[in-house]
Structure 1
Amino acid sequence: MVHCPECESTLAEASDVEFVETEATTGIIAASKRFYAVECAECGTTLGSGVAGAKAGGNAA
């Protein structure tokens, strides 16, 4: 069984975590990226993160 390292709540179902999306500003290579974080639904601790959705020209929706 997986548990949150901060509050020790059980992470067994999709509802036990929250996916948070943060859009970044255009950077050096003129591409906008979307950053994702997975947080514990009980205490809000960030459990993991990633980058996806790069779009040339920085015109991300």
Structure 2
Amino acid sequence: MVHCPECEKTFEDASDVEFLDMDSTSGFFTAAKRFYLVACGNCGAAIGSGVAGAM
């Protein structure tokens, strides 16, 4: 099983993590992609990140 490196909670279901949309429209340029952070649903520690195409 996969677990959080900070609080050791075991991830058993998709609801055990949070997918946070990082604001990709701030700064000088508007991004053509959306940036996401995956965080532990128990303690909020960052687990990973990703990029997806924007509409």
**TM-score band (shorter)?**
0.7 to 0.9
Q: What is the percent sequence identity of the aligned residues?
A: 60
Q: Normalising by the residue count of structure 1, what TM-score does the alignment of the two structures yield?
A: 0.71
RMSD, aligned CA: 1.9
Q: Which runs of 4+ in 1 moved over 4 A?
A: none
Does the 8 Å CA contact 2:11/2:17 hold for their aligned counterparts? yes
Q: Aligned residue for 1:9?
A: 9
Size of the alignment, in residue pairs? Answer: 53
Matches within 5 A, 1:18-37: 18-25=18-25, 27=29, 31-37=31-37
Q: Normalising by the residue count of structure 2, what TM-score does the alignment of the two structures yield?
A: 0.78
Query: Which has the larger Rg?
Result: 1
